Structure 1
Amino acid sequence: MSQAVEFIFDFAAPNGYLAWYPLQEIVARTGANLLVTPVFLGGMHKLTGNSPPMVRDAGVKGKVEYAALEFTRFLDRHGLSQFSMHPALPFNSILVQRLLIASDDEIHRQSLVNTLLPAIWERNIDCTDVAAVGDELTNGGFDARGLLERTQTDTVKQRLAENTSRAVERGAFGIPTFFVGEEMWFGKERLVQLESYLSGGKP
């Protein structure tokens, strides 16, 4: 029976973009099933007391610069040449996260991720601009009007809040976080460990 890899995900995290594409390759190689759990990173930070690395580590001499170096190395290693750091970072992702919650099923949700990730992290669209997001949905073949209307329902809003709280209760504090059962990994640097585990290794 195939194992399920749960990706705790928010479009607002650049490392979520970086992890997404290598993760597809890992899932293909190991035969695992991928599940995307949308959360609100801003809410996660509030619940855990966490903050973006560039903010959290600003006072540590050399750490932000080294993180930028490793970030560039990861892009080069995985051929992610189209990535462009969003000028509005950190930005409010609640609209696009609610879109993921409003998705009909897992395949549809992952198709949304594949459509919106390049728009956000390559073309740097404004995630708070309903018209801009709607254009991306329409161009991607989605029912933009229907999805956007569903983002305003109490059910979708509540489910996103519940996903966020539940992820924190399980130990998550940032993006990207991965779960296989109750085993957790945090960070794009843990993808090698995740693949090893899926292939029969230790966590």
Structure 2
Amino acid sequence: MSKTVEFYFDVGSPTTYLAYTQLPGICEQTGSQLIYKPMLLGGVFKATGNASPAMIPAKGRYMFQDLDRYAGRYGVPLKINPHFPINTLMLMRAVTGVQLRHPERFKTFIDCLFTALWVEGKNLNDPATVAAVLMQNGFDPNQVLALTADEEVKAALKDNTDKAIQRGVFGAPSMFVGDQLFFGQDRLDFVIEALS
């Protein structure tokens, strides 16, 4: 059986962005398949009683410093979004919709969202900004908006989120290698060990 990493993610998490920049290379180097599992982090927080570390001022300050350290270690750009936290319900429905209906454009789609949020610091709480980002990246905002209203897409995102919670997920990023859960972009060395 081929090795896989199931990557439960929400684009609104800066730690998830960092993991996202590293996982394709990890999977390539270990001969593993990366399986993207969009979920709604707000739904996970609500179900598990968890919250963003940024909601605790001292922890939030530390977390943002630590994220800068990891971005430096990974050699990737990171700008803490001044509009954080972002309500990602519509974004994650769009991500799920593109994955379901246009899988060939999925990677390009999540690339543009992660870049807008965590490299360019754009306000993706604002529909006009989201539309501009989509157009700049070759997506029709009206088609994407239609996906967010698609009942099958809504159900798929809810199902992914429910399954994540059932499997013990309490935050993002969460990665599974087999039945082993690894939480956080600072646990990627354990993901590599599990795949090796």
> So what's the TM-score if we normalise by structure 2?
0.90
* C-alpha distance in structure 1 between counterparts of 2:112 and 2:28, whole Å: 20
Residue of structure 2 in register with 1:118 after alignment: 115
**Where do 5+ consecutive residues of structure 2 fail to align?**
none
Distance 1:131 1:65, change over 3 A: closer
Residues 4-23 of structure 1: pairs in structure 2 closer than 5 A? 4-23=4-23
* Cα contact 2:53–2:59 (8 A) shared by 1: no
Residue of structure 1 in register with 2:2 after alignment: 2
Q: Deviations over 1:32-81 (max 9, x none)?
A: 111111111111100000001122x44xxx6555434432211111112x
* Cα contact 2:47–2:165 (8 A) shared by 1: yes
Q: Does residue 1:26 correspond to 2:21, yes or no?
A: no
How many pairs align? 194
Residues 63-82 of structure 1: pairs in structure 2 closer than 5 A? 63-80=59-76, 82=77
Residue of structure 1 in register with 2:185 after alignment: 188
* C-alpha distance in structure 2 between counterparts of 1:105 and 1:183, whole Å: 30
Residue of structure 1 in register with 2:87 after alignment: 92
Give 1:174 shift.
0.4
1:102 to 83, 86, 97: 97
1:172 to 151, 169, 194: 169
Give 1:179 shift.
1.0
2:148 to 148, 151, 173: 151
Q: Does residue 1:35 correspond to 2:32, yes or no?
A: no
Structure in which a larger fraction of residues adopt helix: 2
Give 1:107 shift.
4.4
* C-alpha distance in structure 2 between counterparts of 1:66 and 1:131, whole Å: 32
* C-alpha distance in structure 2 between counterparts of 1:101 and 1:66, whole Å: 32
* C-alpha distance in structure 1 between counterparts of 2:45 and 2:86, whole Å: 13
* C-alpha distance in structure 2 between counterparts of 1:86 and 1:123, whole Å: 8
**Where do 5+ consecutive residues of structure 1 fail to align?**
none
* C-alpha distance in structure 1 between counterparts of 2:62 and 2:10, whole Å: 24
Give 1:23 shift.
1.2
* C-alpha distance in structure 1 between counterparts of 2:169 and 2:97, whole Å: 22
Q: CA RMSD in A?
A: 1.8
Give 1:106 shift.
4.5
Q: Deviations over 1:124-174 (max 9, x none)?
A: 222232332222222222343222211112222222122111101100000
Give 1:5 shift.
1.0
Distance 1:102 1:108, change over 3 A: same
> So what's the TM-score if we normalise by structure 1?
0.87
* Cα contact 1:95–1:127 (8 A) shared by 2: no
* Cα contact 1:36–1:106 (8 A) shared by 2: no
Q: Deviations over 1:79-113 (max 9, x none)?
A: 12x31111121120111101111012544322211
Q: Higher mean Cα deviation, 170-179 or 83-92?
A: 83-92
